[in-house]
Amino acid sequence: MASNEELAKEWYTVELILQREDVQNWANWVARIRWKAK
């Protein structure tokens, strides 16, 4: 995703991180996963 320095300078809030297309794609993928209890 991004280095720690880049996160600190450019992506310092959840709202800013959620603007990234790769994060949106990942969030959509995770939302479709059905978690199974062991």
Q: Give 16-25 contacts, CB < 8 A, sequence gap 24+.
A: none
pTM reported for the whole predicted model: 0.59
What tens digit of pLDDT does each residue of 1-38 get? 678 898 888 888 999 988 999 999 999 999 888 777 66
Rounded to whole angstroms, how far apart are CA atoms 33 and 24? Answer: 15
> Residue 26: what pLDDT?
92
Provide the pLDDT for residue 1: 66
Radius of gyration of the chain (CA): 13
pLDDT at 38: 64
